[in-house]
Amino acid sequence: MNRLQFAQLMWSIYGSKKLPDLDWIQDLGLLAVKLGQMHALRIDFLDPAKCLHLSQLYRKNAAVPKENFQALLQRGAVWGSESPFDHLEDQPLATASIGQVHRGRLRDGSEVIVKVVKTDARDQFIRDVAALKSMFTWFTRLYPPLKRVGDPVAMLGDIETYTLSELDLRRELAGQQTLKRLRDEHADRFDFANLTFPHIYSEYTGESVMVAECIQGPTFDELLEEGKLPYEKVVELFRMHGYYMFCIGTFHGDLHPGNAMLVGEKICWVDTGFVGTVGKQLRVGLLRFFSALTTYDYPRCVEALHGMSLVPLDEEALQQFKTRFEKLYEPFTDSTVSEISLTRQMMETIKLGVLCGMQFDKDIFAIIRSLMYMDGMVLRCNPDAVLMRDMRGFIDQVMPSGDLD
């Protein structure tokens, strides 16, 4: 994807009244698909019909031909000359931007899915990211405030990091093991009873091929498209993800609605190839910020944000930030997500802080992306929700004294 194609992609998403051509986006490569997926939940920025159309990029990507699938399978197999499968379907069960999934059955009768990575995705993705980084670096030299406020190079770096992690399926196994271990270690402090993961067969998993338990259940994205996703399950997902992010500091780094499945009452996390981390200063500051925000205690919000900054403000700059913050949040109290989305408010808040002289850890981009996925789901399933009010119970649970140890 060159600079002209990037501009055309952004126009098709933001400017054109027509729905974006999904086949054309896929032809542009993996980076274009990732950018399209990130916009699929942005009903606060885009027309809902366009968001719904883009959401197909989570699961309706082009499949490789049958013969190519067999070649990818043989090239990535780690089980030697004797296949472990009693049956393996040539037609994919699902296709994604990075790979595709086929249903199969092991010789012991276990129903499984086999995931293979499209080998041409990595090299093109790396070239596309490098080209756009070069372009944005040039832009930020011409207009330095762009780097301070939005830092598109850092945002591209975040996309690059989590996407490259997904391209090595051994990382999915390692990521799942980490998240399961943390779930079990914190089970006495938080209710993870409804969080589950598919079993991954480590003996059959390598860099480009993975064999895992076949989970029967729809994804959150499928339920959103059908209008059948219970809002309570989105809030439950938000709380689980929030505990990992703000209380542990290690979290599922790409928890979009295509990577969460509803299996009965349980929520199953898949595609755990990228496990994000966030430093204590940032995660504690954000938790304190949200604790104050659930009760609309804006002076305490300002204190929390200032505590997150890597560079403290002088008295004059802090007062300026406080005044402008209170004005920004005047319409936020008791607002629904359709009136003011949490992601947009957070982006404006960080922008305001930076313009007043604050500096934040680069991990904040992964946090904002996660929040974008979460409140984007709320926008699609319950636009009249007052999300911060509904999160008070979670905040009270993890911060019973109003603070962290």
Each residue's pLDDT expressed in tens, for the chain with a length of 405 residues = 777 888 888 888 878 888 888 888 888 877 888 778 767 655 545 776 787 688 777 666 555 556 577 888 888 888 888 889 999 998 888 776 677 889 999 999 999 999 988 766 677 777 787 777 776 665 556 545 445 544 556 667 767 777 777 788 999 999 999 999 999 999 999 999 999 999 999 999 998 899 999 998 999 989 998 999 999 999 999 999 999 999 999 999 888 888 999 999 999 999 898 898 888 888 888 889 999 999 999 999 999 999 999 889 999 999 999 999 999 999 999 999 889 888 778 878 888 888 898 888 877 777 877 887 888 899 889 999 998 888 888 888 887 534 454
DSSP output for 51-102 = HHHHGGGGTBPPPPPHHHHHHHHHHH--S-SS--EEEE-SS-SEE-SSEEEE
How many other β-carbons are positioned within 10 Å of the β-carbon of residue 216?
A: 10
**Which residues lie across from 261 on neighbouring strands?**
219, 268
Q: What is the pTM of this model?
A: 0.78
pLDDT of residue 168: 87
For 304, list phi and psi in degrees, rounded to 5.
Answer: -65, -45
Query: Which helix (H) or strand (E) segment is 153 a member of?
Result: helix 152-166
- Taking phi over 0 as left and psi of -120 to 50 as alpha, with beta for the rest, 286 belongs to alpha
Residues 6+ apart with CB under 8 A from 23: 62
Taking the C-alpha atoms of residue 261 and residue 217, their distance in angstroms, rounded to an integer, is: 6
Q: What is the dihedral of CA 72, 77, 80, 84, to 10 degrees?
A: -100
The pLDDT, as a whole number, for residue 403 is 44
Cα(378)–Cα(388) distance, rounded to whole angstroms?
Answer: 12
Structure confidence at residue 155 (pLDDT): 65
